[in-house]
Chains A and B, each alone.
Chain A
Amino acid sequence: MKILVAVKRVIDANIRVRVKPDHSGVETANVKMAMNPFCEIAVEEALRIQQAGDAEEVILFSAGPQKCQETIRTGLAMGADRGLHVLTDERLEPLAIAKMIAAAAEQQGADLIILGKQSIDDDHNQTGQIVAALMRRALGSYISEIKKVAGGFAITREIDAGLEKLRITSPAVVTTDLRLNEPRYASLPNIMKAKKKPIDELSVADLGVDIGCRTEILSVVEPPARQAGVMVSDAGELVDKLKNQAKVI
């Protein structure tokens, strides 16, 4: 089995994100970037499946500017085998990324595609779903457990009502939830080995997909600052305020 893991370069989770003065997007020029945390979980799971003897190869995929190779290297240092980088400076929507992942997975013959359930920058929560639809493959979203079984995978999904256990057929697409695993730290020997692992650079044309945007960003603004709370003396006052001030009940 071959596993393709999609990894995205995003603003580091510990950084306070600032909106650009012209409201065209968020400031990325001077800020620390890192692998999207859900993608780290995806890489970790692929490596665990490989270590359990259920996969021969773990391939990392990333699309975006040159610097995405650093993100791929991070995953290679965790233990993945090689990388694919689609070099483009265009703005990428989930649909475009999904098309590229689908095309790459087809080319590589990947049986399992693992993605983070969402990226912490745009919070779309769409890419995995679109990949599955484009490829007409089984989808397991928000998984907190996955095991290889005959003909497919046994998965556990985190849903509003609790946990849902399913069996899906291979080939499949899964997206990772937070509790799936705790990603490893790259070890020093693996960091050194990662330097020698190959990253193939592709162009959008190599994949033969149209990455044109279907949406246009009109404006990006900071969320409104939170107002200070008020203490209420009893339940009666609370109900009164909810009814007459907040008008929510």
Chain B
Amino acid sequence: MLNTIYRLVEPMRFEAQFTDIDIKGDDVIVRPTHLSICNADRRYYQGKRPPEVLQKKLPMALIHEGIGKVVFDKKGEFLPGQRVVMVPNNPVEEDEVISENYLRSSSFRSSGTDGFMQDNVAMKRDRIVPLHKGMNKKVASFTELAAVSYHTINRFGEIAHKRRKTIGVWGDGNLAFITSLFLKKRMPESRIIIFGKNDWKMVNFPFADGTYNITAIPKDLFVDHAFECVGREASGAAVNQIIDHINPEGTIAIMGVSEVFVPINTRMMLEKGLRMVGSSRCGKKDFCDTLEFYRNNPEVVEYMQSIVGSVVRVKTMTDINKAFEEDIKAPGGKTVMIWEK
């Protein structure tokens, strides 16, 4: 079946291109319904990736956060109309030690392969997760981002030492919001402190046990562990501030993506015997666990609705650009495209 794919061919320019989907194959055909724009998509759209990366990866359909409705499953395992979350990570091998999301052989939607901006998406059947009834669709559209937080907290749980009285989260954006909300819910005994740049954004973190502006952190304030959710140019400053304000042998979970190399105060890191763990992608199990977490904690979903920003109905190519432009202009929140293209 000929399938229309809306690929970014150069910064800010999308074009309809076509592929042939084998409907007799094993894949499940999913029609996207709600797609969420991630910072990575925005960087491609704005041409903020290095020229050699753009040269290599474009044309490519963007978006790796999204849900859809099953349209066709030859095997009948999934029913037409069934709502599913699409998993962007696509492993091609199994490894008894390394997780699927960290295998270098795995491909990733809207990074090495086409993302979800398509008329229909041919999904491997183990790459879709049914969505439970009543789940908020806009929130579900960015399950991938939430699952990264969920996954990182899991890894943190395995690595970090047991004293977890105070945990700091650096950042005041979407990722910091989700991570700190999940931390508070999953580790209620810990004090969750937010370290952000914008006081007006941190007002929206009422579940946190405290918020501090990064320009006014008391010198004697120390956390046992920390999550870095800043990324980009400020990534280095955030990591180094964490190093200053973390207790010895603490664990720092790095989650923010930076296009530039980050100089780190390794002297102090060595002196304090810190651990650092990086996570930016998650596996299918994390999607399942996150959805289960949502099902068991509806109040978390309520909170998550507060970071839904612009909602743009997409019926034309112009609407796609409009959604990205809205996302660029927005001071925060997740931009969700209601996909009717």
Q: Are A and B interaction partners?
A: no
Q: Which positions in B face A, CB cutoff 8 Å? A: none
